[in-house]
A and B are shown apart, each in its own frame.
Chain A
């Protein structure tokens, strides 16, 4: 199964918003509401930020929000802060009791 497609990079100034897209197919993103997003700082462990398209785990700021339209999911980070600079990965249920991850997006806070 092919990886989900994400832009390699995205950036914004502090206080601004940045949106990351994640494009799949009708067999993964488009077929299920099981999209999740992970934040990974350099040398650190991935952290769950969004699950089931729009839900935030306890402790994740409400500046992080998720959405989905058709075969594309999106993560929006509002009110960018310096600590939001990290790599972000989307993931989806792949339809055959497996996961498929995105290619990853490096977010830079200018």
Chain B
């Protein structure tokens, strides 16, 4: 089955760190760009970061210098290391597979809550 499964979400204090993971299966992971997209409670979608097949990364301005996207093509996995977390980073984080600047496969998401 073609799917993406996120893990690693949870409750973290402001200023803390968290590492999200996404396990891909059912397709040739190494052939695709991958993205992280987040959705704050009751809000819209916001693209966070993406990474191409070779590891080149792009980020939304609000997370630059704090978040790092990475991938392991041998393990079919995608990660998002989140440091210096802020209350406004609270959201469901989705892992998504990219087509030509569209997102054609989404995971179920993992909730990150930044709160004291």
Contacts and interface: CB of A to CB of B under 8 A. Distances in A.
A48 B102 contact: yes
A103 B44 contact: yes
A34 B102 contact: yes
A99 B101 contact: yes
Nearest to B56: A97
Contacts of B58: 96-98
Interface string B22-41: 00000000000001010000
Contact of B101 (A3, A36, A40): A36
Given A45-B109, A97-B58, A99-B35, A3 B44 contact: yes
A54 interface: no
B94 interface: yes
Interface residues of A, number: 27
Nearest to A89: B45
A46 B102 contact: no
B102 A52 contact: yes
Contacts of A92: 101
A1 B47 CA distance: 11
A52 B100 contact: yes
A19 to B, nearest CB: 19
Interface of A: 1, 3, 32, 34, 36, 38, 40, 45-48, 51-52, 57, 89, 91-93, 96-104
16 contacts: A36-B101, A45-B94, A45-B106, A45-B107, A46-B37, A51-B100, A51-B104, A89-B44, A89-B45, A91-B45, A91-B103, A98-B47, A98-B59, A99-B37, A99-B47, A99-B101
